[in-house]
Amino acid sequence: MRVPVPFTSSETTERNAALLARFQEQFPHICGNDTMSDVRKFQALIGDLNSHIERLTAPFLSASVLRYQSMLLYASLIFAIVHLFSLPTLPETLLSLPVDGPTKILLTGFITIIAAIFLLGYRVDRQRNRLTNAVAAESTQSIKDYINFLMVKRKVEEEFWARLHNRIWSEYEATNNAVFAVYDSKPSITRDPMAVGRIDLEQTRKLWPDLSESIESKSDFVETISAELDADVARFNAKMFDLELEKAPLREELATLQPAEASDSHQPSLRHLELMQGDRALKQRARDLHRRHIRSWIQAANGVTELIYEHTVRNPGPDVLAMSKDYEQTMARVVAARTRYVALEVGLPVAFAIAALALVWSDGLPA
């Protein structure tokens, strides 16, 4: 959420730029600074996977297994034709056996054995294919691990940024209230704090050891920045305390003169003008104190918010987590191709054999 800053110009101060640069250095992913390096590494992994795509989608049934597939289809077809056309004997190619009960049992057993050998051969070829494609599987797993790593890394940055953002806003809100108190008014700014605690950092250290150093660094950074913020807030509060000491007697005297000035013929006294000028000077000093000590913090925080919005909404550009959708679609097509291959080369022949046996045995044994 971008917080509007009262009493400030749109110019970027040197301190604001320095703070923003420090924030970008610690939170590069959410600010979009590490996008291209992530993309290049991801593209390298994708390129390695693409070199194995042809192997992943290539037919893997061996010639011997395909022979049993042909035998299964041929025997099932002959068995079904003999039954459908009520042939008294099998074709000459099958020794012209009479179509009786023993023959049906013999052919059923023969087809069943061929189907079993075919399925066993398919299983062996599939396991062999998995072994030969182990490199491709490792490449696929590397991409998954890298995507998960980036997602967790971004969540870590979002967690620490939410903590720091809420801390800056909390101090801004308190100091802003103090400035408005000088004006005898209340601020109209409201905000919803950013959600924190969406990731278990200790568990993340255990699951992702490579992120331990980053987590430690960001934790130290938040503590350091918070200490610097506290120092600025302390300086602001000390000077505001002195200002309040000056304001109290001035406002009291001004209040005593107000009724008398109101009853006069529109000619305020010199003392009243001096008090009014002093009151305006106090308000200006309060604004200057806020600009000097707090302005840079909230503007730097707003700058990070703008970068996040620019990176994720206005001008996303290339992003690994977005490109991962293309990878998921590619892998879905690979899985679909392998599924269709197995269905066509294994499922259909076995289903045809089962249908042929069911058809032949639907009438029971011949008389």
User: For the segment 234-289, what is each residue's pLDDT rounded down to a tens digit?
Assistant: 998 888 887 777 776 666 666 666 655 545 555 666 766 676 777 777 778 888 88
Phi (first) and psi of residue 82, to 5 degrees? -60, -40
User: For the segment 177-189, what is each residue's pLDDT rounded down to a tens digit?
Assistant: 888 877 766 766 6
Exposed, middle or buried by CB within 10 Å (0-12, 13-18, 19+), for 263? exposed
Share of the chain above pLDDT 70, in %: 74
Cα–chain-centroid distance for residue 319?
A: 11
| pTM of the predicted model over 0.75 | no
Phi (first) and psi of residue 89, to 5 degrees? -135, 160
Cβ atoms < 10 Å from Cβ of 185: 9
3-state secondary structure (DSSP) of residue 189: coil
Cβ atoms < 10 Å from Cβ of 84: 11
Q: Is the pLDDT of residue 97 over 90?
A: no
User: For the segment 283-313, what is each residue's pLDDT rounded down to a tens digit?
Assistant: 788 888 888 888 889 889 998 988 888 777 6
Q: Angle at Cα 141 formed by Cα 136 and Cα 147, nearest 5°?
A: 130
Cβ atoms < 10 Å from Cβ of 153: 21
- Return d(Cα 89, Cα 196) in angstroms, integer: 81
Which of 357, 359, 339, 361 shows the shortest CA–CA distance to 114?
357
Q: Is the pLDDT of residue 12 over 50?
A: no
Cβ atoms < 10 Å from Cβ of 72: 25
211 vs 271 pLDDT, higher one: 211
